[in-house]
Amino acid sequence: MIRPQISASLPRINNIQYDVYIYHRPANRNDIIPGWERKTSTQNIRRARLKAKSLYETDQYEKVEIKRRVFNEGAARSFSSTFKTYENTGYRKILRALLITMLGALGAIASLGVMYLTYA
């Protein structure tokens, strides 16, 4: 049985890179600094995910994205696509506002209790 060689017709794909990009919040941004900035580049997806998650959890950036860049020798160029995005969604902002409101209410109740005990 003769096996056809299909590997010659397929483009070879080498050198997969994972780039971690951050998006600066408008409050942190000067006119000189662009909105997107590449923080790191690695061939290990696990390292890229750990770095992106740690940057996102600092809460300094509006978005953190991992882009997958593949160099295709057949086309002699690289192609990139978004692999994962960490983004501040509405629920985090609502949760933070709710927490601040609850702490303010507890502080008001505590101060009223202290006043009642002091002057009663």
Higher pLDDT, 14 or 93: 93
| The two three-digit tokens of residue 16, written as one number | 């997969």
What integer is the mean pLDDT of 29-58?
Answer: 84
What integer is the mean pLDDT of 85-105?
Answer: 82
Compute the distance between CA of residue 53 and CA of residue 65 in angstroms, rounded to an integer: 10
Q: Give the closest residue to 51 by CA, choosing from 90, 13, 83, 6.
A: 83
What integer best gives the mean pLDDT of the chain?
A: 80
CA 103 from chain centre, in angstroms, equals 28
Query: With 70 as the cut, is the pLDDT of residue 11 above it?
Result: no
Query: With 80 as the cut, is the pLDDT of residue 1 above it?
Result: no
Residue % of the chain over a pLDDT of 70:
78
